[in-house]
């Protein structure tokens, strides 16, 4: 099975998994990226079963609308039943690195609101220790150099993702070679740097469940404690 076939399988499995939650007033949170795109395409098949979606990026909002799915503003929503999104890496505690698609801030906001976070990945994303994938950090543009110096003090090597402006008008620093032994602590530490909007560690609000596509089928993973 190719990586794309594994992504397709988890996207379809995610729709089946959330189907019992879908009611006429249900709002679904939808992530960003190639796996999330396949989920959106599969979700279109059950669009008559739920009310609307909240999107984690402009790209996702457009794809949802193209399928005829109503996209609503998060501020008009009291509850998101479930959020489905991909990840760049996950560990056995279902802590994630996200932001490869530069949508980390809106992704983290939607994940925070959602009652359940279902992460959809293929098996290439599984790691024991987070950090092989460079950690994305969204930064207010005028603070870019200052934040880069502070991130270097934490032991990482920040690289400016040139030419990328987030949906919020900010820039991305990708932090290479960061030793992430305590993801929850590091998430908070980076957030405390003035000028940082969000970082791509999802450890304080991890996934509740990971659906992982493997060559042998889809595995359902929970925190290994
Ligand atoms: C976007 C993300 C994506 O979820 C992450 O990059 C995974 O993407 P893909 O499904 O294309 O591998 O965090 O900001």
27-67 pLDDT, tens per residue?
A: 999 999 999 999 999 999 999 999 999 999 999 999 999 99
* Residue 18 backbone dihedrals phi, psi, to 5 degrees: -90, -10
Tell me the pLDDT tens digit for each residue of 195-209: 999 999 999 999 999
Report how far ligand 1's centroid is from the alpha carbon of 155 (Å): 25
Q: Is 198 annotated as a binding residue?
A: no
What would the pLDDT profile of 77-117 be if each residue is shown by its tens digit? Answer: 999 999 999 999 999 999 999 999 999 999 999 999 999 99
The pTM score is: 0.97
**Looking at 107, 138, 150, 187, which residue is catalytic?**
107
Residues with CB under 6 A from ligand 1: 31-35, 85-88, 98-104, 107
Do 91 and 128 contact (CB within 8 A), yes or no? yes
| Catalytic site includes residue 107 | yes
Is 101 annotated as contributing to ligand binding? yes
**In degrees, to the nearest 5, what angle opens at C-alpha 56 toward C-alphas 91 and 133?**
30
Report the nearest-CA residue for atom 8 of ligand 1.
Answer: 33
Q: What is d(CA 96, CA 47) in angstroms, rounded to the nearest whole number?
A: 28
The pLDDT value recorded for residue 224 is 76
């Amino acid at each position: 099975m190719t990586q794309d076939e594994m992504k397709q399988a988890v996207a379809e499995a995610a729709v089946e998994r959330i189907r019992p939650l879908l009611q006429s007033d249900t709002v679904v949170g939808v992530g960003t990226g190639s796996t999330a795109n396949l989920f959106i395409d599969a979700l279109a098949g059950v669009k008559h079963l739920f009310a609307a979606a909240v999107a984690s990026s402009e790209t996702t909002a457009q794809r949802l609308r193209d399928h005829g799915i109503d996209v609503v503003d998060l501020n008009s929503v009291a509850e998101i039943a479930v959020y489905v999104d991909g990840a760049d890496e996950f560990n056995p505690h279902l802590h994630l690195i996200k932001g490869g698609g530069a949508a980390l801030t809106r992704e983290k906001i939607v994940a925070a609101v959602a009652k359940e976070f279902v992460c959809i990945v293929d098996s290439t994303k599984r790691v024991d220790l987070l950090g092989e994938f460079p950690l994305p950090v969204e930064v207010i543009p005028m603070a870019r150099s200052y934040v880069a110096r502070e991130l270097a003090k934490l032991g990482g090597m920040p690289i400016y993702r040139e030419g990328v402006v987030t949906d919020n008008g900010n820039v991305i620093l990708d932090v290479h070679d960061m030793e992430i032994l305590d993801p929850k602590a590091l998430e908070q530490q980076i957030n405390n740097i003035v000028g940082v909007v969000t970082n791509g560690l999802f450890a304080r609000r991890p996934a509740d469940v990971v659906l992982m596509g493997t060559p042998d089928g889809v595995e359902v993973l929970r925190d290994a404690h």
